[in-house]
């Protein structure tokens, strides 16, 4: 494991920091307030390689490694958690899945466009009764001799509002639970695929989350990703990468909260001196910085495992758990330090406080991460 980025990794992260500072940060508050999917920023991110960071250049990507990816995502998340999640879904859940498990025809049709930001991908796994219990798929894929007929519904599908293609997970053998789930690559304009109920969430507003309704969506067998029954394993592999990305996103939000708290503590005067001079404030800042740095090392460790070609399930769960909880604590302490100034609707800390809470829920709750970690340590 490297604790210092290489020159190449740092150079890529520097481009992401510049993009975040100059183009994302000025828009972050309006994206949240207006709940708008920033399609123009997504296209710009694609031009910079941020929509396909780990995708090889021959398929339109930046050809960077997972360490560069988490450095870039953290930088973007410091400016906007929403934009960072849009990038992570497209990168980790969709583009990498097509790269690893799709056919050359899938790659030719979609991967270059996704990696360049010319198309947006979505990942439809969650259902009303299939959240943490993701194997409990009720969406059905019925073979009809030529292809499949998809019927059911999906919830909380990030990027769905603007997506051009979606990976849909459905049960081809419901009696086998996870062993009977298959994955399908479905264009969003397929007849019978309907967007429903844009989700107005507490945070990461502007993510384009929607529910999807599948009313006899007919796809031929060429839309299948992997083999029948491999879908659940493909989803879990994708989530390993996605959880490292969410850890990076959480770190960015937490770091932004720390910087807001530091700046305020230095300029806010109470009882004749800046509040940064009081031990109570210093201890909160010290705990914030320490928690985030420890989580950053776990995130880099998880990313390094992926660079080495390892699955990294345990490392990914540890990174997501530690980073999301450290970032939540940092946002909470920042709110306490800023007090009424931070609690005000529309303040940066108020937005960070709302955004960070989702990192402990999506792509596996903290409780799910603890289950995975416990299973590993118990052997």
Q: Which domain CATH number covers 73? A: 1.10.540.10
265 and 214 both lie in a single domain: no
Angle between helix 231-267 and helix 348-357 axes, rounded to 10 deg:
150
* 163-217 pLDDT per residue, tens: 999 999 999 999 999 999 999 999 999 999 999 977 789 999 999 999 999 999 9
**Is 2 contained in some domain?**
no
Count how many domains the chain has.
Answer: 3
pTM beyond 0.85: the answer is yes
205 and 251 both lie in a single domain: no
94 and 213 both lie in a single domain: no
* 270-295 pLDDT per residue, tens: 999 999 999 999 999 999 999 999 99
**Is 352 contained in some domain?**
yes
Boundary residue ending a domain (84, 104, 120): 120
Buried b (16+ CB within 10 A) or exposed e, 110-124: bbbbbbbbbbbbbbb
106 and 171 both lie in a single domain: no
169 and 105 both lie in a single domain: no
| CA 145 to each of CA 71, 81, 148: distance values in angstroms, whole numbers, following the listed order | 47, 44, 8
270 and 224 both lie in a single domain: no
Instruction: Kindly state the helix (H) or strand (E) to which residue 18 belongs, with its residue range.
Output: helix 7-19
Q: Which domain CATH number covers 289? A: 1.20.140.10
**Is 61 contained in some domain?**
yes
11 and 57 both lie in a single domain: yes
* 7-60 pLDDT per residue, tens: 999 999 999 999 999 999 999 999 999 999 999 999 999 999 999 999 999 999
61 and 130 both lie in a single domain: no
> Are the beta carbons of 161 and 195 closer than 8 angstroms?
yes
**Is 218 contained in some domain?**
yes
Boundary residue ending a domain (211, 231, 251): 231
Its domain, for residue 326, covers 232-378
CA distance 304 to 292: 18
> Are the beta carbons of 269 and 98 closer than 8 angstroms?
no
């Amino acid at each position: 494991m490297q604790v210092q980025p290489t020159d190449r990794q740092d150079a890529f992260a520097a481009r992401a920091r510049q993009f975040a500072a100059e183009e994302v940060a000025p828009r972050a508050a309006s994206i949240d307030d207006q709940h708008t999917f920033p399609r123009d920023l997504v296209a710009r991110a694609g031009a910079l390689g941020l929509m396909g960071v780990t995708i090889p250049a021959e398929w339109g990507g930046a050809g960077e490694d997972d360490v560069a990816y988490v450095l870039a995502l953290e930088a973007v998340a410091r400016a906007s958690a929403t934009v960072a999640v849009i990038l992570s879904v497209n990168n980790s859940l969709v583009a990498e899945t097509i790269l690893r498990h799709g056919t050359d025809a899938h790659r030719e049709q979609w991967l270059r466009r996704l990696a360049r930001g010319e198309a947006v991908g979505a990942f439809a796994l969650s259902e009303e009764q299939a959240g943490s219990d993701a194997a409990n798929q009720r969406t059905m894929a019925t073979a009809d001799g030529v292809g499949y007929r998809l019927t059911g519904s999906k919830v909380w599908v990030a990027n769905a509002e603007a997506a051009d293609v979606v990976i849909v997970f459905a049960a081809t053998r419901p009696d086998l639970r996870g062993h009977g789930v298959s994955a399908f690559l479905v264009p969003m304009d397929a007849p019978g695929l309907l967007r429903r109920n844009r989700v107005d969430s507490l945070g990461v507003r502007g993510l384009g989350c929607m529910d999807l309704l599948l009313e006899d969506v007919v796809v031929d067998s060429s839309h299948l990703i992997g083999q029948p029954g491999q879908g659940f394993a493909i989803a879990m592999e994708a989530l390993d990468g996605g959880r490292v990305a969410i850890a990076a996103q959480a770190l960015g939000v937490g770091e932004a909260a720390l910087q807001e708290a530091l700046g305020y503590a230095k300029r806010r005067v109470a009882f004749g001196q800046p509040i940064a001079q009081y031990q109570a404030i210093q201890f909160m800042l010290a705990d914030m910085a320490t928690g985030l740095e420890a989580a950053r090392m776990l995130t880099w460790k998880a990313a390094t495992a992926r660079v080495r070609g390892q699955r990294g399930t345990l490392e990914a769960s540890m990174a997501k758990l530690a980073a999301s909880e450290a970032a939540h604590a940092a946002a909470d302490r920042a709110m306490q330090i800023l007090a009424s100034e931070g609690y005000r609707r529309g303040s940066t800390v108020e937005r960070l406080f709302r955004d960070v809470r989702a990192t402990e829920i999506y792509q596996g709750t903290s409780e799910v991460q603890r289950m995975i970690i416990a299973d590993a340590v118990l052997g």
